[in-house]
Structures are given as structure tokens and as C-alpha cells.
Amino acid sequence: MFADKKEIETVLSALAEQLQSQGVNRLEIVVCGGAALNILGFVKRTTQDVDLIAYIDEGKDGVTVITKADPLKPELIIAAKKVQKDFNLPDKWINAGPAVVVDLGLPHGLMDRVETRTYGTNLVAHFLSRLDQIHFKVYATVDQSGGKHLDDLMALSPTSEEIEQASRWSMSQDVSEGYKMVLKDMLTQIGFANVADKL
């Protein structure tokens, strides 16, 4: 359980040290969820974990390659276990739970909008932008029936245009009529009936 931004960043710095002790010169991760929201100052709440969606590598010709963070890389698992022990953290304090979204396509331009921080000399964390967090939170709110995801979504104060964009992306993650019905109902309940009518 992380109480605030400072605690999350302390643990990420410790993770960088553990990676370095294994000889890992560079690891780039894409972070979403509560940890990213706290670090970028969009919300202030406790969060239980650091959610990864992808790794970033430089491919041939310097082209950025995005790969799904599931499964976690062996060196990351080793480093995470040591940090877990040092800070008395839960088993899956860093995980790739939301990484399934990579399979069906991330929001267009996501990597152009991330905010990047470096921990130590070797751990580069790309935190999702406000707009992309809105995308993920719309999907998670419908998929997991509200809770903290709905609270986070409302804290981000989305506009109708942002909600529509996020809703259309979320429908690419789940193309079922059932999902669409629950999405439209959720949007109506939170004051975006105008967007629900367009879907």
C-alpha cells in the first residue's frame, strides 16, 4: 500500500538500484493506474500497486517497439522481490494486470502524450497522460463496475469530447452489445447522456 507520490517514487528508485545490481543498464516501462495518477498529481489517494502495461524497446532503425508487459521480465521479477522484502510490500506490488489492453490496441498517439521520469540511471518510467488515463478509466469502470476507477475518472474532470473518444476506444476492447449497454448506462449516470446517445 502506497500512501502518496513520495512512497511510490522511493520504491521505484529502489527498484532501479536492484536492476542495476543485476547489470540491467536500461529498462523502460509504461505505467498506468493509481501510481501514475499519484505521481503526475491527477489524484491523491492510496494505491496498492504499480500497474504496468508495456515495455518500450528500441528496435531496428531506432523505431520504438511497444511490447506487452505480461509476463514480467525475469530480471524485473528478481528486482521486485528484493524491493518487496526491503519495504514489506505485497506479492504483486508491481504487476501487469492491465497489460491485456495491448493486445487489442492502445489509444492512438499514447506514447506521444506520456510523461517520462527516470529513476536511478537505468529505470525509465512512462506515465500515462490525463487523456489516456480517461480512456483506461472508462474501460475499467465498465469492466469492473465502478469503485475506485469511477472515482478516478470523475477526479480527472473529463470533457464530453474526451469521454466520447475514450468510450469509442473502450468499445474496441470489448465489442459485445452487453458492454456497450453497460457503458451507455454508466455514461448516463455520470452526466454524459449526450455522449451515450452518440454511441
28-59 confidence digits (pLDDT tens): 999 999 999 999 999 999 999 999 999 999 87
Percent of the chain with pLDDT over 70: 99
How many angstroms separate the first and last alpha carbons of the chain? 38
Task: State yes or no: pLDDT of 146 exceeds 80.
Answer: no
Q: Do the beta carbons of residue 45 and residue 89 sit within 8 Å?
A: no
Q: What is the pLDDT of residue 166?
A: 98
pLDDT for residue 21? 97
Which DSSP category does 50 fall into? E
pLDDT at 144: 86
Beta strands in 72-193 (DSSP E): 94-95, 115-119, 123-127
What global pTM score does this model have? 0.95
CA-angle at 53, arms to 160 and 58, nearest 5°: 110
Q: Which three cell numbers stand for residue 53?
A: 502495461
Strands 94-95 and 115-119: unpaired
The angle at the Cα of 135, spanning 173 to 40, to the nearest 5 degrees, equals: 140
- Going by pLDDT thresholds of 50, 70 and 90, the confidence category of residue 175 is very high
Residue with cell 464530453: 160
